[in-house]
Structure 1
Amino acid sequence: MEVEQVASDSENVAVDGPEKPVDGAGDAATPHSERLRRKNKKFLRTNSKEKETVAAAPTPLPKYRSWKNSRRPRNGHGRGLPKKGGAGGKGVWGIPGSELLEELEEDANDPNYDPEAAGGDLELKQLILEADAEEIVRKSESVILEYFEHGDTGAAAEEFLEFVTSSRSHVICETIVEVALDHKPSHCEMASVLISDLYGRVFTAKDIALAFENLLDRLPDLVLDTPEAPTLVANFIARCVADDCLPPRFVQRTDYANDYARQAIHRAETLLSMKQGLVRLDNIWGVGGGIRPVKSLIRQIQLLLKEYLTSGDLAEAARCVRGLETPHFHHELVYETILLAIETINSSVEEQLCTFLAELRRSLAVSPEQMDRGFLRVLEDMSDIVLDVPLAYIMLDRFVDKCTRRFRLGDHVLKRMPTRGRKRFVSEGDGGAIKDHALKLRE
């Protein structure tokens, strides 16, 4: 009976399948077909219409662990900016120029790190910053020169904002003043207006102060190219204080290393402390070009000619003509010169004024059109001039003859020259010849 029961139990074991291996036997005791079935077993998705499976609820984490690895802002809304300004994180390029900074930075834990050679990195960084400043100066110069042509401060500000950074704004102000030092007073006036309009938009009062501090420190070098640099820089400083771009305490500093800087600061303080100084500083560069009234220009031309006849300095007279900055009004200069030659009735004065016109014509300070127009204006007014100067026609004929020997006049001017008519001192038998003793010239 016991034998039959043992046999039936062995048959049941054989029918149920192979015996599971004991712990520790591993996959070596598992048949090959069973391992394949386990490997190829797949979990099929169930349709929404089929039997739905209920997933077990996850175990809630503690409150402090739910925010441990969260990238969301703690305040709930954040600033709306990329993480680290776009300079950090996975798969980003970093800030512009970061590859240079990474090459310059050294790890103190690096076995090859040399503390003594670490100062060389600072020098290389300084060279990179200087190269950046030179690039800003190069771009700024072209914008400033273009501004001197059109005078639009808004367009200049937009061009500056395209390449300037907040840390380099003082370089633009420094470049504006430095470029204006080599130009005319009217350009200095435009530079002062540009600094005033860019204040608060491109640079701040601190940037302007830093720019003038650098200029004052560099005055010994600027004087080599522009001898009047201390005076011009002082005018710029005083004008900026008057325009509320610089604080008045800026001119109270006297601890500069060079004498030129102390001289400029002293002049700026004097300009600001004089009576009604802030009002006068509006015209510190003068009123230039066609902005001046016509009567003022005529008065300056007359003073220029009288000073030239007194001193005889032809180069200074030509410089004063260029300083008028009125090329469209040079015909008035020619008109006043011819009129002065007619009224003086002096051959030496005629020769001096003829030399003056010849130099202006040779150096192209006065264009041929303006020269011819001045002569034509005299011919048109001869009927009035002869009332004051009876010998006007004779003096004009002699002066024009001297001028034609020095430079060329237009054919239309020579054709309109009046023919020498009969005068009371010309007799019938002289054939129209003029007697020299009748001129009664004051030699």
Structure 2
Amino acid sequence: MLTEEPTQLPSLNPKSKEKYDKELDKLRTYKKAASLIINEYLSSHDMENLIINVVNLHTPEYNPIFIKRLVTVAMDRKNKIREMASFLLSALSMEIFTTEDVMTGFAMLLDSIDDTALDILDASDKLAMFLARAVRDDVLAPVHLELLNEKYKESSTASKTIAHARNLAFSPHAGERLERCWGGSSDFLKDIKEKIVKLLEEYQCTGDLGEACRGIRDIGMPFFNHEVVKKGLIMAMEKKSDRILDLLQECYDQGVISVTQLTEGFGRVRDVMDDLVLDIPKAAEIFNSYVEHAKKHDWIICESTSTV
């Protein structure tokens, strides 16, 4: 596991010390660059530029440090920034960060949670929320929470933080609650959602599968395609049109929307069914037919998405 910069140098021979100093300088330079990249993203919302800048650092071994810095900065800022950080973590995990990077980054955050709490009083609660959101966004799997927990004593703040994250991630209707865990979407995320709605409305009018698939691909956020599925299914119920099933089949066939994202999208619709039936009396019946259709065509993981 990567560690932060030590406070004291161990006794080293001249050659080892020279190598150590070079690595220390490299780490300091990286931290400064990472901070600049993060702050620029939080100001500009330009995710594509951030990803390019991170790749251009050519230091994948420091990816966990980037994650630690991103989450630490966000914990001490407003909800809008926390939402942007969670969303960015999803993008980075799809584009350039490995699961090991994310695990190590969160382990570093957990290792230092007691120190962080000296400056951010509710740091443990906020970190638990980031962990739960990471599970909800498929950045981490549930088993990763257990693996993280194995290295901490049961009475430690880190272990309590993980337990809180587990409760948040697996509570009833966790998907919708965690989507709004930072008090609502950032302006950036709202823009993406508006693009998705416009794309789906155009598809409902034209039925142009090719154009709709290209539009979804061009949005360039495969980790957020569960929103396409959710919005599409709800729109289909409202308009009493099953045309969305053809689009989902095309997206599945072309690899535009993954089984994981399809399953997540169906799950999110199921989670808000109590609200949907108030406006669409037959919503549950329609949704159940969609689930059976999805299972028949292998779009979704059957164990993860059930009828209502």
Instruction: Give the TM-score taking structure 2 as reference length.
Output: 0.52
2:157 aligned with 1:260? yes
Q: Which runs of 5+ in 1 are unaligned?
A: 1-116, 294-443
Q: Distance in 1 between matches of 2:18 and 2:112?
A: 23
Q: Distance in 2 between matches of 1:249 and 1:127?
A: 38
Residue of structure 2 equivalent to 1:241: 135
Q: Distance in 1 between matches of 2:179 and 2:106?
A: 19
RMSD between aligned residues: 2.6
What SS is found at the alignment partner of 1:167? Answer: helix
Given that 1:133 and 1:171 are in contact with CA atoms closer than 8 Å, whether structure 2 keeps it comes out as: no
Given that 1:254 and 1:265 are in contact with CA atoms closer than 8 Å, whether structure 2 keeps it comes out as: no
Q: Give the superposition deviation at 1:125.
A: 3.6
Q: Distance in 2 between matches of 1:123 and 1:218?
A: 27
RCO comparison, higher one (Cα < 8 Å, 6+): 2
Q: In terms of mean alpha carbon deviation, does 209-218 or 143-152 score higher?
A: 143-152
2:82 aligned with 1:188? yes
Q: Distance in 2 between matches of 1:289 and 1:168?
A: 27
Q: How much identity, in percent, do the aligned residues show?
A: 27
Residue of structure 1 equivalent to 2:96: 202
Query: Which letter maps to 1:128?
Result: K
Residue of structure 2 equivalent to 1:393: none
Residue of structure 2 equivalent to 1:136: 30
Given that 2:83 and 2:186 are in contact with CA atoms closer than 8 Å, whether structure 1 keeps it comes out as: no
Cα deviation code 1:33-69 (max 9, x no counterpart):
xxxxxxxxxxxxxxxxxxxxxxxxxxxxxxxxxxxxx
Query: Which letter maps to 1:255?
Result: K
Query: Which letter maps to 2:27?
Result: A
Given that 2:132 and 2:165 are in contact with CA atoms closer than 8 Å, whether structure 1 keeps it comes out as: yes
Q: 1:212 to 1:119 in 2, by over 3 A?
A: farther
Q: 1:168 to 1:255 in 2, by over 3 A?
A: closer
Cα deviation code 1:207-256 (max 9, x no counterpart):
01000001100111111111111111111111111111112112222431
Q: Distance in 2 between matches of 1:201 and 1:166?
A: 12
What SS is found at the alignment partner of 1:196? Answer: helix
Q: Distance in 2 between matches of 1:121 and 1:247?
A: 43
2:68 aligned with 1:174? yes
What SS is found at the alignment partner of 1:200? Answer: helix
Q: Which structure carries more helix by proportion?
A: 2
Cα deviation code 1:131-165 (max 9, x no counterpart):
32222111111111111122121111111112142
Q: 1:281 to 1:123 in 2, by over 3 A?
A: farther
Residue of structure 2 equivalent to 1:43: none
Given that 1:241 and 1:247 are in contact with CA atoms closer than 8 Å, whether structure 2 keeps it comes out as: yes
Query: Which letter maps to 2:172?
Result: K
Instruction: Give the TM-score taking structure 1 as reference length.
Output: 0.37
Residue of structure 2 equivalent to 1:281: 178
Given that 2:70 and 2:85 are in contact with CA atoms closer than 8 Å, whether structure 1 keeps it comes out as: yes
Q: Give the superposition deviation at 1:128.
A: 3.2
Matches within 5 A, 1:200-349: 200-252=94-146, 253-257=149-153, 259-287=156-184
Given that 2:129 and 2:181 are in contact with CA atoms closer than 8 Å, whether structure 1 keeps it comes out as: yes
What SS is found at the alignment partner of 1:246? Answer: coil
Query: Which letter maps to 2:109?
Result: L
Q: Distance in 1 between matches of 2:87 and 2:20?
A: 33
Given that 2:86 and 2:130 are in contact with CA atoms closer than 8 Å, whether structure 1 keeps it comes out as: yes
Cα deviation code 1:169-219 (max 9, x no counterpart):
222111111111221011000001111111132211110100000110011
Larger gyration radius, structure 1 or structure 2: 1
Q: Distance in 1 between matches of 2:141 and 2:13?
A: 37
Q: 1:167 to 1:288 in 2, by over 3 A?
A: closer
2:33 aligned with 1:146? no
What SS is found at the alignment partner of 2:184? Answer: coil
Q: Distance in 2 between matches of 1:143 and 1:161?
A: 11
Q: Distance in 1 between matches of 2:135 and 2:13?
A: 40
